[in-house]
C-alpha cells in the first residue's frame, strides 16, 4: 500500500463526485433507451457510468444484443439530459467547497478528470461558479482511451507535473476506480448511487461518505 505522505495532488471525477449529475445520467440512459425500444433498468443504467465508447457499446450489447444502436441511444440521452439541465441546472455535492478550501490552503494541486466533453465540463462548472476552482480541467476526449483505462489519470497527473503515485483520485464509479488503480494512483471512493462491489472494494485505498471527509484522510500525513 502506498504511503499517504506522498500525496501532492487530488484528481477529481466530476459527475456524481463534484456535481450531483450522475443521477441524471442514470435517469436519462433509461428514458433514452426506452424511447428507442429497449427496457433498460436502473441497475443496467448504473453499469454505464463513466465508460468510454468502446466499453459502453460492449456493455449495452451485453444488455440488448449485438444489433443495439448505442450511438442513437446515447445521442437521445444527451438530448434529453441537456434539455433538463438547461431548464433545471445542476447542483454540487456536499463537502466540495470545504475540501477545495483545505487543498488550496495546503498547497495540494487539483484537477478535474471527467469522461464528459470539455465543453460540457466548463458549462456545468461555470453554472455553479466553480470554473476556476481547479488547477486543470481534463476530459476523456483529450486522451486515446477513456475510463476504465488509465489514460485520463495519467494525463491529468502529467498536466499537474506530479507522478501518478503521488496522486489521490476521488471517484464514485467502479470504472473510475479501476482507471485510477491502473494508473498507479491512490483510489478513494465516495459512493453516489450505490456501494462498491467486492471487486471494486479490493482496489480502494479508502472509502468515505462525503467529500469533506477526505480532509481527515489527508490529515494522516501530518
Taking the model in full, what pTM does it have? Answer: 0.88
| Rounded Cα distance, 149 and 45, in Å | 20
Torsion-angle region of 96 (φ positive above 0: left; ψ -120 to 50: alpha; else: beta): alpha
What is the structure's pLDDT at 221? Answer: 65
Residue 222: HSE in the Cβ half-sphere, 13 Å Cα cutoff: 6
At residue 115, the 3 state secondary structure works out as: coil
**What pLDDT digit, counting tens, does each position of 78-133 carry?**
999 999 999 999 999 999 999 999 999 999 999 999 999 999 999 999 999 999 99
pLDDT tens per residue across span 4-40 = 558 999 999 999 999 999 899 999 999 999 999 999 9
Residue 71 in grid coordinates? 450511438
Query: Which CATH code is given to the segment(s) 4-20+91-219?
Result: 3.40.50.1000
> Which residues are paired to 110 by β-bridges?
10
* Pairing of the two strands 167-171 and 186-189: parallel
168, β-bridge pairs: 10, 186
* Pairing outcome for strands 136-139 and 186-189: unpaired
| Interatomic CA distance for residues 23 and 77, integer angstroms | 13
What's the alpha-carbon Rg for the chain, to the nearest Å? 17
| Buried b / exposed e along 1-37 (16+ C-beta atoms within 10 A) | eeeeeebbbbbbbbbbbbbbbbebbbbbbbbbbeebe
Predicted confidence at residue 4, as pLDDT, reads 52
pLDDT band at 1 (very low <50, low <70, confident <90, very high): very low
CA–CA dist 113, 39 (Å, integer): 31
Question: What pLDDT sits at residue 108?
Answer: 97
What number of CA atoms fall less than 13 Å from residue 140's CA on the CB side? 22
Of the CA atoms within 13 Å of residue 98, those in its CB half-sphere come to: 10
Amino acid at each position: 500500500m502506498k504511503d499517504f505522505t506522498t500525496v501532492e495532488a487530488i484528481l477529481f471525477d466530476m459527475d456524481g463526485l463534484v456535481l450531483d449529475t450522475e443521477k441524471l445520467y442514470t435517469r436519462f440512459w433509461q428514458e433514452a433507451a426506452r424511447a428507442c425500444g429497449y427496457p433498460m433498468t436502473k441497475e443496467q443504467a448504473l453499469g454505464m457510468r463513466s465508460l468510454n465508447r468502446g466499453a459502453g457499446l460492449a456493455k449495452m450489447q451485453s444488455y440488448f444484443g449485438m444489433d443495439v444502436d448505442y450511438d442513437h441511444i446515447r445521442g437521445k440521452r444527451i438530448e434529453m439530459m441537456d434539455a433538463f439541465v438547461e431548464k433545471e441546472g445542476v447542483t454540487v455535492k456536499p463537502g466540495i467547497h470545504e475540501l477545495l478550501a483545505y487543498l488550496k490552503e495546503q498547497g495540494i494541486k487539483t484537477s478535474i478528470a471527467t469522461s464528459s466533453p470539455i465543453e460540457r465540463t466548463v458549462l456545468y462548472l461555470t453554472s455553479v461558479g466553480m470554473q476556476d476552482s481547479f488547477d486543470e480541467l481534463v476530459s476523456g476526449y483529450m486522451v486515446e482511451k477513456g475510463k476504465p483505462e488509465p489514460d485520463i489519470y495519467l494525463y491529468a497527473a502529467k498536466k499537474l507535473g506530479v507522478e501518478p503515485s503521488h496522486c489521490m483520485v476521488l471517484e464514485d464509479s467502479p470504472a473510475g476506480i479501476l482507471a485510477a488503480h491502473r494508473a498507479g494512483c491512490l483510489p478513494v471512493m465516495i459512493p453516489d448511487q450505490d456501494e462498491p462491489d467486492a471487486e471494486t472494494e479490493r482496489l480502494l485505498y479508502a472509502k468515505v461518505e462525503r467529500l469533506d471527509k477526505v480532509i481527515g484522510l489527508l490529515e494522516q500525513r501530518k
